[in-house]
Copies of this chain bind each other. A is one copy, B any other.
Amino acid sequence: VITLYPQDVENGGAPSSSLMRIGKGVAIYYEGDQAKRWYEVVSGIVRTCRYHVDGHRQLTGFFYAGDFFGVDEDSYKETAEAVTNVVVRRHAHDATGQPGGRGKSSEETESALRKALTSAQQCIFLLGHRTAAERVAAFLLAAAIRLGATKGVPLPMSRNDIADHLGLTIHTVSRTISDLARRRLIALEGPQRFRVLDEAGLRDLAGEDPTSIATEENRRRQPTGQGEYREFV
């Protein structure tokens, strides 16, 4: 399933763009490590996570081919691990260490930062859902959208990964997915693959709605406080 491009991996490559293979489950970097490079997924799936002191994980994102991760300053704020076998491309940070070259690299960094921010905001939105069904539905929808196809969406990450991403237990995730299948919103094709049967129903559950952005009731919400100021130029 995974295309590895061994010819790319095996040539020395330019120092600013070297490829790296990482085995399933292996860490790419750890939270707290010095952040010398950021990464681009070539193939496979990467997860980023933070560990709480009690040992439980918070997955902050899944990254697919073409996605960036590890765009941190000074030290990495999260740990990155390979969900599947992956190939990643390493990119050098610009300003840090080499104040000389500032041209295209800076724009790249900015673009990568924006994507990282969007990813983090997506994660917050997921966690912002109230019930398990809402979170799971939103997650499955996002996966279906991300991976295109309304038919046959792969779920390469384990139930454990999903649970730690949504702030639920593996049991609740499993039960909820089964329930969604029972209600004919999705169809399971094995544990690692599903199909969207009722997209409208899923969206309804997830609270995902394109019109939710800037609907009239949201935009024109009146202030609750009694401020004495008004907008000033």
Per a CB cutoff under 8 Å, which of B33, B58, B212 touches A214? Answer: B33
Residues of B within 8 A of A97 (CB): none
A26 within 8 A of B: yes
Residues of B within 8 A of A9 (CB): 232
Per a CB cutoff under 8 Å, which of B127, B167, B228, B233 touches A23? Answer: B228
A120 within 8 A of B: yes
Q: How many copies does the complex hold?
A: 2
Residues of B within 8 A of A233 (CB): 18-20
In the bound complex, what is the Cα–Cα distance between A123 and B225 (angstroms)? Answer: 24
A14-34 Cβ-contact flags toward B at 8 Å (1 or 0): 000011111111110011110
Q: Report whether B114 and A110 are in contact in the complex, using a CB–CB cutoff of 8 Å.
A: no
A78 within 8 A of B: yes
Residues of B within 8 A of A71 (CB): 117
A101-122 Cβ-contact flags toward B at 8 Å (1 or 0): 0000011011001101110110
- Selecting from A49-57, A147-155, A175-183, A190-198, the interface stretch reads A49-57
Q: Report whether A23 and B212 are in contact in the complex, using a CB–CB cutoff of 8 Å.
A: no
A146 within 8 A of B: no
Q: Report whether B117 and A21 are in contact in the complex, using a CB–CB cutoff of 8 Å.
A: no
| Interface hub of A118, A123, A229, A233 (most chain B Cβ within 10 A) | A229
A3 within 8 A of B: no
19 more contacts with CB within 8 A, not counting A25-B224, A30-B218, are: A22-B227, A22-B231, A23-B223, A23-B228, A23-B230, A31-B218, A50-B125, A54-B207, A58-B128, A77-B121, A85-B228, A106-B110, A110-B110, A113-B113, A113-B114, A116-B117, A120-B121, A124-B124, A130-B167
Interface of A toward B, CB cutoff 8 Å? 9, 18-27, 30-33, 50-56, 58, 60, 71, 73, 77-79, 81-82, 85, 95, 106-107, 109-110, 113-114, 116-118, 120-121, 123-125, 127-130, 167, 207-209, 212-214, 217-219, 221, 223-233
